[in-house]
Amino acid sequence: MAAMFWLLVSVCFFFHFQVEASKPAKLHIVYLGHSDPELHPDAIAESHSSLLAETIGSEDASEALIYSYKHAFSGFAAKLTDEQVDRISGLPGVISVFPSGISKLHTTASWDFLGLSVDRRGRKHSLSRVGGSLWKNTDYGKDVIIGSLDTGVWPESESFSDEGMGPVPSRWRGICQAGQAFNSTLCNRKIIGARYYYKGMRAENISAAGDFFSARDKEGHGSHTASTAAGRFVPNVSLHGYGNGTAKGGAPFARLGIYKVCWPLGCSEVDILAAMDQAIEDGVDLMTLSLGGDPGEFFSDAIAVGAFHAVQRGIPVVASGGNAGPTLGVVSNLAPWIVTVAASTLDRNFSSSAVLGNGAVYKGESISYKELKPWQYPLIASKDAFAPTSNSSRSELCVVGSLDPEKVRGKIVACLRGENSRVDKGHNVLLAGGVGMILCNGPAEGNEILADDHFVPTVHVTYTDGAAIFSYINASEHPTAYITPPVTMSGVKAPVMAAFSSPGPNVVVPDVLKPDITAPGVDIIAAISPASGDGSYGSMSGTSMSCPHVAGMIALLKAYHPEWSPAAIRSALSTTATVVDNKKNHILTNALERATPFHFGSGHVDPNAAAHPGLIYDVSESDYIAFLCDMYDSVAVALITGKQGIDCSTVAQPASALNLPSITLSNLTGVKTVTRFVTNVGDCVSTYWPKIEAPEGVSVSVEPSELAFTQAGQTLAFNVTFNATMPRKDYVFGSLTWKNYKHKVRIPLTVKAALA
Ligand SMILES: *[C@@H]1O[C@H](CO)[C@@H](O)[C@H](O)[C@H]1NC(C)=O
Ligand SMILES: *[C@@H]1O[C@H](CO)[C@@H](O)[C@H](O)[C@H]1NC(C)=O
Ligand SMILES: *[C@@H]1O[C@H](CO)[C@@H](O)[C@H](O)[C@H]1NC(C)=O
Ligand SMILES: *[C@@H]1O[C@H](CO)[C@@H](O)[C@H](O)[C@H]1NC(C)=O
Ligand SMILES: *[C@@H]1O[C@H](CO)[C@@H](O)[C@H](O)[C@H]1NC(C)=O
Ligand SMILES: *[C@@H]1O[C@H](CO)[C@@H](O)[C@H](O)[C@H]1NC(C)=O
Ligand SMILES: *[C@@H]1O[C@H](CO)[C@@H](O)[C@H](O)[C@H]1NC(C)=O
Ligand SMILES: *[C@@H]1O[C@H](CO)[C@@H](O)[C@H](O)[C@H]1NC(C)=O
Ligand SMILES: *[C@@H]1O[C@H](CO)[C@@H](O)[C@H](O)[C@H]1NC(C)=O
Ligand SMILES: *[C@@H]1O[C@H](CO)[C@@H](O)[C@H](O)[C@H]1NC(C)=O
């Protein structure tokens, strides 16, 4: 099958590149706010053409216009010179004109990947997660439509079977767009729509060579995320016989609308925005995006713009926070209307050990289907094994062509992590005739161990253990080692935050906590693209993988509580999240320190608890207007929201006043009171009492001292007063929990008490 597709690639896949006019024009997004529901989309598109024609001349305009965004919001993408940008920015009705960036997928493969794509040879394996009542209560997310913006899908995967599923919901307006190796009959009652967006990449002159020019997934990432969110039960799958079980997604009876926006070299923001506009129009119930760009101001950030209009229509948007950790302040997808997801481990590992000639044993992990004979093999440090044409700083990383077969043959090679992909290193060891690999972290990766599917028997070890192994090699005349075959362990201490998961604070609006929540994103095994290798299921890590877990849970919550707003769903997930691990200890970072809300937001998701949160922190349209008014003027806010008569000078509220399920004060001087509103979604008559864990050096009080609800749907306000008694340089963390006999409704408190 793969060979046939490759043939098609070479015969009929090429891009037409636009020849550039004399002035250097760059791809921009012109954002014009809400789309007038009174106007036909064609009329809106017409207004874009004429606006552009008036500014840059009608001849150039037809070539410059790349997309009209005309369904859920209004705007367009065009190639513009600096001078044209200035002219358009000054026109009435224009909120922002910003250059289109290239967003990245949030797998760790892209994090320590450089250039060379080595196939992940995925085999079938089990996924076990979300269970219990919410599945049964919602018929497994029946009929909720998840819009997935990613690298496309492998529609033939067993995870996307539509067996036993009812007819496509009649409200669905999407299509099954035909393209290379993807005809319009390939959609089914599971994958109910598929489209692909490439005009932005073409306008940027970025090659999509090697990919399918259609919604078919080459990379595997899109199939992985879609099957994590909504894959069917696929029984009796295992990866090389490890971890047998049933592969399944979060909402196995949900439907999928596939929007391919990512190509081998990234995802153009103009394409992402076009897909979001269309997905809203097609009728998705929620959107999931395992990708992101650099953190940016909200209305100069395509995902934030698209998400705002989705949320305005009641469509939750969940996005990955990025893999730029562990450095603080690197999280992306920062708008308060997006559910931003961090990544942490599962309670399963694939335990394997390096046994050295001196008897020392170092525990690590890997998934590799080949086993070594049970004896000691000669061991070499890769930096000592450089080929004559290379040098030790290249061979240390086991990059392609750097290892000398003369030195490596028949040996286990100790390679340093970094630069090229982890799997690529093992591939290079194999090519040089090595029999196994010990993959050693550098100081930056610390304790982060990932179980990849390697080409040679491998064990991945921590920085400390790697350093000990290197000094053993250095000190021994004939160093030797053995690698034990991996064993699937369950009940492992978890979750632990992944070192790669991007932490807060939020660099755009520091008083809005990001990320919102954490979910499993390490060694996640789900469907992949057989075109990326020789398997149907494979292991990947990243916030890309945790994001669709939350998307699956949101689908279940949508099915269970169709009336809940996106903010209510986010609140339910957040206030019921846990901050303790399965050993009843506070969740740790990968460096074995106490994780904070900057790592995990409210904590680790608990979908069954989220179905019954007791209280919710909802956010109304007027709350968002008050928030936006603090950042933009009345005219812009009216255009963005489509509401007339907004007077920002009277309604503006600081970000800390937005009714989020968290309170974050990045610059507390003296005393500050913050008001929150909670709505009763539990028993009609119920009383809650507050429990405060005050951040160190801050006194916190709550007024009133109890919330007595007398009916369902009732909303009550309370004030939280912070008094910084001890200024300090760093953030401090606490929590506020409203409790009754049945519920614990917890929010994190995050404070930096400014130095006077
Ligand atoms: C679509 O593809 C399927 C399977 O590859 C094939 O059986 C079918 O004939 C194709 N249909 C059209 C209209 O090309
Ligand atoms: C676009 O790419 C083609 C082929 O790689 C190249 O010939 C052409 O000069 C490029 N155009 C621009 C504007 O970069
Ligand atoms: C499960 O898979 C194994 C190996 O692929 C096969 O031998 C066995 O028959 C399968 N069992 C079921 C119940 O399908
Ligand atoms: C998992 O499946 C493999 C192959 O089907 C089998 O050899 C092995 O015994 C199974 N392990 C468990 C724990 O079921
Ligand atoms: C090693 O080789 C690389 C690329 O071949 C080169 O860039 C680098 O400068 C070399 N380093 C040393 C220490 O020679
Ligand atoms: C290797 O051993 C030599 C001498 O025994 C020592 O000077 C050197 O510091 C060692 N290097 C490492 C990296 O341990
Ligand atoms: C894997 O889990 C087992 C059992 O909990 C534990 O002993 C082992 O240390 C874990 N391996 C790693 C590398 O964390
Ligand atoms: C913090 O607040 C103080 C007093 O309100 C103000 O002077 C200072 O500029 C603020 N600092 C920042 C970083 O906003
Ligand atoms: C909260 O504080 C504001 C202003 O200080 C006050 O007007 C309001 O009544 C308080 N609300 C509650 C519920 O205590
Ligand atoms: C805040 O704390 C300081 C120091 O403990 C105290 O003197 C002051 O009265 C407090 N202010 C309020 C409004 O509670």
pLDDT tens for 670-685 read 899 999 999 999 999 9
Task: Reply yes or no on domain 22-99 having CATH 3.40.50.2300.
Answer: no
Strands 339-344, 317-320: pairing is parallel
**Rounded CA separation 101/432 (Å):** 39
Kindly state the tokens that stand for 368: 């590799």
**Atom of ligand 6 at shortest range from CA of 471:** 14
Kindly state the tokens that stand for 313: 């229509």
Question: How far, CA to CA in Å, does 636 sit from each of 122, 361, 625, 631, 641?
Answer: 49, 63, 11, 10, 9
Q: Whose CA is nearest to atom 2 of ligand 2?
A: 205
Q: Whose CA is nearest to atom 2 of ligand 7?
A: 492
Kindly state the tokens that stand for 755: 């130095």
* Reported confidence tier of residue 180, pLDDT bands at 50, 70, 90: very high
Q: Is the pLDDT assigned to residue 307 strictly greater than 50? A: yes
Strands 255-260, 191-196: pairing is parallel
- Residue 616's pLDDT is 98
CATH number of 659-753: 2.60.40.2310
* Reported confidence tier of residue 248, pLDDT bands at 50, 70, 90: confident
Q: Which of 288, 298, 289, 299 is nearest to 267 (CA)?
A: 289
- Residue 607's pLDDT is 87
Query: Which residue among 16, 205, 207 is best mutated to probe the pocket of ligand 2, counting the most ligand atoms within 8 A of its Cβ?
Result: 205
Q: Whose CA is nearest to atom 14 of ligand 10?
A: 723
Residue range 471-498: mean pLDDT, rounded: 92
* Reported confidence tier of residue 123, pLDDT bands at 50, 70, 90: very low
150 is an active site residue: yes
Q: Is the pLDDT assigned to residue 58 strictly greater than 90? A: no
Strands 291-292, 102-105: pairing is antiparallel
**Rounded CA separation 436/412 (Å):** 4
* Reported confidence tier of residue 2, pLDDT bands at 50, 70, 90: very low
Mean of per-residue pLDDT scores for the chain: 88
Residue range 632-637: mean pLDDT, rounded: 93
* Adjacent-strand bridge partners of 736: 692, 747
211 is an active site residue: no
pLDDT tens digits, 339-364: 999 999 988 888 999 999 999 999 99
Q: Is the pLDDT assigned to residue 425 strictly greater than 70? A: yes
- Residue 16's pLDDT is 35
Distance of CA 725 to the CA centre of its chain: 38
Burial category of 626 from C-beta neighbours within 10 Å (exposed 0-12, middle 13-18, buried 19 and up): buried
Q: Is the pLDDT assigned to residue 92 strictly greater than 50? A: yes
* Nearest-5° Cα angle at 79, 77 to 82: 115
Burial category of 728 from C-beta neighbours within 10 Å (exposed 0-12, middle 13-18, buried 19 and up): middle
Stretch among 81-90, 108-117, 240-249, 655-664 having the lowest mean pLDDT: 108-117
Kindly state the tokens that stand for 419: 């630069």
Confirm if 534 and 594 have CB atoms less than 8 A apart. no
Whole-model pTM? 0.88
Cα of 459 from ligand 4 centre, angstroms:
21
**Rounded CA separation 463/416 (Å):** 9
* Nearest-5° Cα angle at 303, 745 to 63: 165
Q: Whose CA is nearest to atom 3 of ligand 8?
A: 669
Cα of 474 from ligand 6 centre, angstroms:
6
Considering every ligand atom, which ligand is closest to the CA of 671? 10
Fold type of domain 352-489 = Glucose Oxidase; domain 1 (3.50.30)
How many CB atoms neighbour CB 363 within 10 A?
A: 15
The answer for residues whose C-beta is within 8 angstroms of residue 503's C-beta and 6 or more apart is: 325, 326, 327, 328, 329, 330, 331, 342, 515, 598, 599
Task: Reply yes or no on domain 104-346+495-613 having CATH 3.40.47.10.
Answer: no
DSSP string, 478-540: S-EEEEPPPEEEES-S--BB-TTSPP---SS-TTS-SS-EEEE-SSEEEE--GGGSS-SEEEE
Residue range 702-728: mean pLDDT, rounded: 95
* Nearest-5° Cα angle at 86, 83 to 88: 110
Residues with CB under 6 A from ligand 5: 391, 393-394
* Adjacent-strand bridge partners of 68: 76
* Reported confidence tier of residue 142, pLDDT bands at 50, 70, 90: confident
Of residues 193 and 110, more confidently modeled: 193
| Region at 643 (left for phi over 0; alpha for psi -120 to 50; beta for the rest) | beta
**Rounded CA separation 339/333 (Å):** 8
Q: Which of 126, 237, 124 is nearest to 490 (CA)?
A: 126
* Reported confidence tier of residue 238, pLDDT bands at 50, 70, 90: low
Confirm if 431 and 474 have CB atoms less than 8 A apart. no
Q: Could you tell me where the DSSP H helices lie in 522-594?
A: 543-560, 566-575
Q: Is the pLDDT assigned to residue 756 strictly greater than 70? A: no
Confirm if 485 and 638 have CB atoms less than 8 A apart. no
- Residue 218's pLDDT is 92
Q: Is the pLDDT assigned to residue 398 strictly greater than 90? A: yes
Kindly state the tokens that stand for 233: 């039960």
How many CB atoms neighbour CB 580 within 10 A?
A: 12
Kindly state the tokens that stand for 81: 């010179």
Question: Given 320, 421, 544, 571, which residue is catalytic?
Answer: 544
* Reported confidence tier of residue 754, pLDDT bands at 50, 70, 90: confident
The answer for residues whose C-beta is within 8 angstroms of residue 81's C-beta and 6 or more apart is: 23, 24, 25, 26
- Residue 104's pLDDT is 78
**Rounded CA separation 430/447 (Å):** 26
* Adjacent-strand bridge partners of 99: 28
Residue 249: phi, psi to the nearest 5? -100, 175
The answer for residues whose C-beta is within 8 angstroms of residue 23's C-beta and 6 or more apart is: 81, 83
Write out 638-677 in H/E/C secondary structure.
HHHHCCCCCCHHHHCCCHHHCCCCCEEEEEECCEEEEEEE
Q: Which of 271, 289, 288, 295 is nearest to 208 (CA)?
A: 271
Q: Is the pLDDT assigned to residue 37 strictly greater than 50? A: yes
Q: Whose CA is nearest to atom 10 of ligand 1?
A: 183
Q: Is the pLDDT assigned to residue 690 strictly greater than 80? A: yes
pLDDT tens digits, 99-118: 998 887 776 532 222 111 22
Does the CB atom of residue 449 touch ligand 7 within 6 A?
Answer: yes
Write out 616-632 in H/E/C secondary structure.
ECCCCHHHHHHHHHCCC
Using omega within 30 degrees of 0 as the cis cutoff, is the peptide bond preceding 566 cis? Answer: no
Q: Is the pLDDT assigned to residue 152 strictly greater than 50? A: yes
**Rounded CA separation 494/716 (Å):** 36
Stretch among 37-46, 377-386, 563-572 having the lowest mean pLDDT: 37-46
- Residue 109's pLDDT is 39
Query: Within 13 Å and on the Cβ side, how many CA atoms surround 220?
Result: 28
**Rounded CA separation 667/158 (Å):** 52
Kindly state the tokens that stand for 422: 């982890």
Kindly state the tokens that stand for 271: 């394409």
Confirm if 409 and 380 have CB atoms less than 8 A apart. no
**Atom of ligand 7 at shortest range from CA of 493:** 5
Q: How many residues comprise the chain?
A: 756
| Region at 579 (left for phi over 0; alpha for psi -120 to 50; beta for the rest) | alpha
Cα of 667 from ligand 8 centre, angstroms:
6
Considering every ligand atom, which ligand is closest to the CA of 238? 4
- Residue 110's pLDDT is 28
Residue 49: which H helix or E strand, with range? helix 41-56
**Rounded CA separation 497/601 (Å):** 11
* Reported confidence tier of residue 240, pLDDT bands at 50, 70, 90: low
Confirm if 753 and 724 have CB atoms less than 8 A apart. yes
- Residue 137's pLDDT is 64
Q: Which of 586, 561, 573, 557 is nearest to 516 (CA)?
A: 573
Using omega within 30 degrees of 0 as the cis cutoff, is the peptide bond preceding 167 cis? Answer: no
Of residues 4 and 710, more confidently modeled: 710
Confirm if 552 and 563 have CB atoms less than 8 A apart. no
Ordered by start, the domain boundaries in the chain are: 22-99, 104-346+495-613, 352-489, 659-753
- Give the residue carrying structure tokens 């390697």: 454
Residue 654: phi, psi to the nearest 5? -65, 160
Of residues 369 and 174, more confidently modeled: 174
- Residue 13's pLDDT is 32
Kindly state the tokens that stand for 395: 């061979």
Q: Whose CA is nearest to atom 8 of ligand 4?
A: 241
Question: Given 71, 125, 221, 240, which residue is catalytic?
Answer: 221
Residue 301: phi, psi to the nearest 5? -140, 110
